[in-house]
Amino acid sequence: MPIKLIIFDLDGTLVDTARDITESLNHAIRPHGLGPLSVEETTGLIGEGTSRLIEKALEKPLGTPEAAVKEAALKSFLKHYSEHLCVHSKAYPNVRETLKRLPAFNKVVLSNKREDLSVKLLEDLGLKGFFTLIAGSDTTGAKKPSPEAVRYMLEKTGTSPAEALMVGDSPYDIEAASGAGVTTVAATWGYRDRGLLAGADYTMEDIGELMPLLIKLKAIEK
């Protein structure tokens, strides 16, 4: 079956959000005597959603954080990040150009970032209009690597697994898509070492390689 649906991860795949997340994370953990974390340290924590990001930032120095500490840090992070969502964040090279070249495909975003923040980020960057559906960690309650998150996107778009392809920079993306029977494409320009992406069906060094890959898969003609 030809590819009809392209599912994109957000952070580390379409948009480099690491610096804004780092600054908000440091704002949240500073009152607890922690940090500051570097952008490189923070990128190693990104990928499992906001709650898990806060847990991991607190766990390393404190062990399992008390519920009150975690809740305070999470609330502080969300407030700061929602107010500084797009200070430094920007689309990766060739993202906008590639999306413009894919009008024949249904394009959606599946992120472990909360839905409202995902929508606002894409809106602020002028990318929201490319996508028919944007889902976050709180959309269904199922987060990647759960295949349920991908199955939700298939159901909402009326697409079979054989007609879909997912592009992501994380092993969580690959595991979720593979579990749902969807073809996987690893984005090596993102936040994870390429060794962690070995399970993907295909690998790209730049999102501009998506068009040649779709031609190879006979999803579009030359």
pLDDT tens sequence across 145-180: 999 999 999 999 999 999 999 999 999 999 999 999
- How many angstroms separate the CA atoms of 215 and 222, rounded? 6
Task: Provide the pLDDT for residue 1.
Answer: 67
Task: Provide the pLDDT for residue 221.
Answer: 58
- How many angstroms separate the CA atoms of 122 and 65, rounded? 32
Domains of the chain, residue spans: 5-16+89-216, 18-83
Q: Do domains 5-16+89-216 and 18-83 have the same CATH topology?
A: no
Choosing among 3.10.620.30, 1.20.210.10, 3.40.50.1000, 3.30.420.130, the CATH entry for 5-16+89-216 is 3.40.50.1000
**For the domain bounded by 18-83, which CATH number is listed?**
1.10.150
Q: What percent of the chain has pLDDT over 70?
A: 98
Please enumerate, as own/partner, the contacts of 210-216 that have beta carbons within 8 Å and a separation of 24 or more. 210/6, 210/98, 210/102, 210/167, 210/185, 211/98, 211/101, 211/102, 213/185, 214/3, 214/102, 214/105
Taken as a whole, the chain contains a residue count of: 222
pTM for this prediction: 0.95
Could you write out the DSSP letters of every residue in 158-178? T--GGGEEEEESSHHHHHHHH
Q: Which listed residue (9, 11, 16, 173) is catalytic?
A: 9
- The Cα-based distances of 176 to 50, 103, 142, 159 in angstroms read 18, 25, 10, 16
Instruction: Specify whether 9 is catalytic.
Output: yes
Residue with tokens 């949240």: 28
